[in-house]
């Protein structure tokens, strides 16, 4: 895995983790009792994006490290995941 692949893998893991962390402990404007005119009642009262980005990074780094170790060790390779190649490659043919 090259440096570009590692960066792309980290970005994918970070954003997937961010989308999981984003709705946690969210208080809506309706629950808070202060709905700003022109917004939905379900809009967050205080999004705390910086805090959630920090939490995301704390979780994404170890997840990325585990995935990187698995990829670099060769336990799972692209060949293992390439289903189309396995279906296209003929097995032993006997006549």
Query: Span 9-18, mean pLDDT?
Result: 96
Mean pLDDT of 35-40: 88
Q: What is the pLDDT of residue 79?
A: 75
Alpha helices (H) in the chain, listed in sequence order: 3-21, 29-32, 49-73, 78-81, 83-88
Its pTM stands at 0.73
82 or 95, greater pLDDT: 82
Selected residue with higher pLDDT from 70 and 91: 70
Rounded mean pLDDT, 39-43: 87
24/94: higher pLDDT: 24
């Amino acid at each position: 895995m090259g440096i570009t692949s590692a960066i792309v893998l980290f970005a994918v893991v970070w954003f997937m983790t961010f989308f999981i962390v984003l709705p946690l402990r969210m208080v809506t404007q309706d629950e808070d009792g202060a709905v700003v005119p022109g917004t939905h009642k379900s809009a967050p009262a205080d999004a705390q994006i910086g805090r959630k980005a920090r939490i995301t990074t704390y979780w994404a780094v170890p997840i990325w490290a585990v995935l990187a170790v698995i990829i670099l060790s060769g336990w799972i390779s692209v060949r293992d995941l390439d289903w189309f190649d396995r279906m296209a490659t003929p097995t032993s043919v006997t006549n």
